[in-house]
Amino acid sequence: MSSETVNRLTEDYYLDNFLYLLNFVANHYEHLLSANEQHFNERLRRLPDDGIRLYVRLTNRIGPYFRCDKINYQEIKDLSAAIEHLKSDQLLEVVEPPVEEAIELCSRRELLTLLGFEKVPSGLKKSELKVRINERAINPLTELGVTVVQLLGLKELRIFRLLFFGNFHQDMTEFVMHELVAPFESYEISRQSITFTTRENLELVLRLRDLAERAEEVLALDNNGDSIMSLVKELPCRPEDSRAARRFDRLVNRLARQLERLKCDECALQLYTKTLTPPSRERQIRLLDKLGEHRLALNLCEAIELEPLNQEEQEFARYFATRLSQKSGMSHALPIISKKNIPCDTIKVRASKGRVEKAAADYYEGLSGRCFYVENALFKSLFGLSFWDIIFASVPGAFCHPFQRGPSDLYTGDFFINRREMIEDRLTILDKPGELKNRVLNVLDQKVGVANDFVYWGLLSDELLKLVLDLIPPKHLQIIFRRMLVDLKNNTSGFPDLICFDHEGYRLIEVKGPGDKLQKNQLRWFQYFLANGLPVSVVNVEWERA
């Protein structure tokens, strides 16, 4: 963090943020906190100012061990007293860290001093110094007389953070982002919108997180599937809670895919059946086919056709059913995939070290038009601006803390279901002349810079927005929005690279260099564009020789 940034914050900004988190959790989740967690909260609150400042400062640093001679914060007036207060409240202890960790806390110069500088080559790497320290069987920090402390209460702190954020990937930096970078939208957080309703659910999410972390280690080391299967035996039943279920599904698919790679096909197949979340059923079909169970594979294709979870899964089922039918002679009732021919041009441009998309954009700029490299950002941003108030609408369970870029159900099927009437009304309104342009510009004026998971503020230049809103028919944007809304997780990528404007209107162009081809999600968008009459094409770029 730059000094200029820090100067824009109050001296105790980090402490204020931490206390806000504690208060929020105490107010919303007191009934879920264990006795230890409540006592942890009480101990923190009775600390003197320097004590809690030190604790919070250290929680924001990489630990678990901290050298006291490296702790220096201007606002902490008496470091020794702060340490003593934390020790007496069992929030910190003085320790002698294991030798390996102690070595990491030492500088190369300190290690050289311990070994006797005159006897050690000055060019010796720190990794080589570690070996020599280990050979002496000494703890370097003890030898240097450095006091080391370790924070306590981290298990309880983890619970508080999880209850506040509802996930493991956000942290206290969100407070600073809100103040200095991109403020978060203001929305209602009701007591009915809390992430966790029972202690059992909280413990289940923690258990799934721990299993996922262990899985990372197992997947890196297991070469025969035994360790993976041991981990599988520890899996709980699939949770009823949707958030916990998504964690479970991701873990199951990850473990099953690795079993598949290790040729443990029957074990992988059995594990895949624990979830329907894509690509589970696709992988099951491929494994059933590999194991000679063609009828079961075809039955699963037909089940997908009846209730597809996304378009990619449905397309796969139709394609593979046809393949199974041709291979085994079995008939099926799934539709045959028919695809329109995609318009394709070839241009020659001067060889460049830059991106091929930039070279193509420059080429079209030279044809008396305007061309922008936008890829997924343009239509996502237009969607975010057009549906801003609906995205942040007060829907039960949508918002559980102040730092969300969208509702909790944003990338699930529930997003549309829970807002169907609002969305359909908005699509109808946007079809009226001038309505979409006015809405986008009004929201842009009111919300510029506010965090929204769809909006790329840096892309939306005045020139680009004017061209888009003047030259793209609102009906075309509505067509795009409708497909995005079917599956916001998968249908917000795969858009063409370029948008070009000239006196005839606009054109979407996907740029491909030598050897490139359209990806599956791009193909789906192209088929949709062509079926609805939107101007789109692929351009193959060939480099001109100098």
Q: What are phi and psi of 65, to 5 degrees?
A: -105, 145
Average pLDDT score over the chain: 92
pLDDT band (50, 70, 90) for residue 400? very high
**What DSSP string describes 280-312?**
HHHHHHHHHHHTT-HHHHHHHHHHHHHS-SSHH
From the number of C-beta atoms within 10 Å of its C-beta (0-12, 13-18, 19+), residue 138 rates as middle
pLDDT band (50, 70, 90) for residue 2? very low
Structure tokens at 80: 């020794």
Q: What's the rounded Cα separation, in Å, for the pair 47 and 57?
A: 14
pLDDT band (50, 70, 90) for residue 3? very low
Using alpha carbons, list the distances in angstroms from residue 506 to 57, 333, 499.
Answer: 53, 40, 7
Residues facing 509 on adjacent strands: 498, 537
- Mean pLDDT, residues 487-499: 96
The answer on pLDDT for 165 being more than 90 is yes
Q: Which residue has the higher pLDDT, 168 or 135?
A: 168
The answer on pLDDT for 237 being more than 60 is yes
- Residue pair 91/154 in contact (Cβ under 8 Å)? The answer is no
Residue with tokens 């769809």: 454
pLDDT reported for residue 182: 86
What domains lie within the chain, and their CATH numbers? 3-97+139-181 (no CATH), 193-328 (1.25.40.10), 344-544 (no CATH)
pLDDT reported for residue 5: 47
* Spatial CA neighbour of 265 closest among 291, 285, 295: 291
Q: What proportion of the chain, given as a percentage, has pLDDT over 70?
A: 96
User: By three-state DSSP, how is residue 466 classified?
Assistant: helix
Residues 118-127 have pLDDT tens digits of 555 666 777 7
Residues 245-278 have pLDDT tens digits of 999 999 999 999 999 999 999 999 999 999 999 9
Q: What's the rounded Cα separation, in Å, for the pair 427 and 436?
A: 9
pLDDT reported for residue 122: 61
pLDDT reported for residue 521: 93
- Mean pLDDT, residues 515-544: 93
pLDDT band (50, 70, 90) for residue 350? confident
- Mean pLDDT, residues 532-544: 93
pLDDT reported for residue 118: 52
pLDDT reported for residue 154: 97
The amino acid sitting at 50 is: D
- Mean pLDDT, residues 322-333: 80
Residue with tokens 């397309």: 315
CA geometry: angle 516, 520, 523, nearest 5 deg: 85
pLDDT band (50, 70, 90) for residue 397? confident
H/E segment holding residue 317: helix 311-328
The answer on pLDDT for 147 being more than 50 is yes
The amino acid sitting at 465 is: L
pLDDT reported for residue 202: 97
Q: Which residue has the higher pLDDT, 338 or 207?
A: 207
Q: What proportion of the chain, given as a percentage, has pLDDT over 90?
A: 75
- Mean pLDDT, residues 19-42: 96
pLDDT band (50, 70, 90) for residue 180? confident
Q: What are phi and psi of 184, to 5 degrees?
A: -85, 155
pLDDT reported for residue 524: 94
- Mean pLDDT, residues 435-446: 95
